[in-house]
Homo-oligomer: A and B are copies of this chain.
Amino acid sequence: MPKSLSHINQFPINELMSENSIDCVIFGYENQQLKILLIKWKQEDLWTLPGGFIFKNEDMDEAANRILKERTGLQDVFLNQFYTFGNKDRKQTSDSESNRKLDHLSKKLIANPKIYEWITKRFITTGYIALLDINKANPKPDFLSDKCEWKAIDELPQLLYDHESIIQKGLTHLSIQLNYLPVSMLLLPKKFTMQDLQKLYESILNKKLERSNFQRKMLKLGIFIRLEKQLTGAANKAPYLYCFDKPKYTELIKKGIGFTY
């Protein structure tokens, strides 16, 4: 597998690089909010999903893992393809102002006109979702960006290209697969309350759930271990902390949690 590239001038056009790219919707969970890792272009307020190109002699899944590692420092992260985006105008942002800024900035940052031409053409891109513990990630910008940031799902900035619809599709995929993927185990910290869990579900399903029924149904699954209470200092009963019974959880996920919402 080729090494990663550290500068734009190293791009081996028409040689090692295929005409396919990958974009990652990297999910994390913090302060009872579902978040996505976004990248900001240098100088301007232009945001995109972390992504990269696929080498010709590289498996697509390999490429996704490489890109994720470059951007978060993490290996062996849960990573799952969900859709491929191939509209011929997918690099046009709906907002024309952003388009202008991006065009101007690209020309400035990418001196070599051949590389500029290559990098700005239509790429067919495949979307992957990643699920990880937000505390373990150590985001690093790439050579065209100066900042990585976790953004709450309902407070996203305007995004370039078709990246907004990629996120939407990724979210839909996540909600559909919720019963078959270990989403909550991967996103929540080791210890969590039922409220944390419920808020996570509500974020993903974009829907309020009834508190008491949620708790009863969840506990009935038999995949949680009740720990000590968490005293919050508030004038009310303290919630229990829970952790996952990992073997049982893994077992259950295989046949599907069978949860209805």
Contacts and interface: CB of A to CB of B under 8 A. Distances in A.
Contacts of A122: 56-57
B124 A18 contact: yes
Given A20-B124, A54-B124, A84 B84 contact: yes
Interface stretch (A29-37, A41-49, A58-66, A183-191): A58-66
A87 B19 CA distance: 15
A220 interface: no
A57 B20 contact: no
A86 interface: yes
Contact of A84 (B14, B58, B81, B121): B81
A19 B87 CA distance: 15
Interface of A: 14, 18-20, 54, 56-61, 63, 81, 83-88, 121-122, 124, 126, 176
4 A-B pairs with least C-beta separation: A60-B86, A84-B84, A59-B87, A19-B19
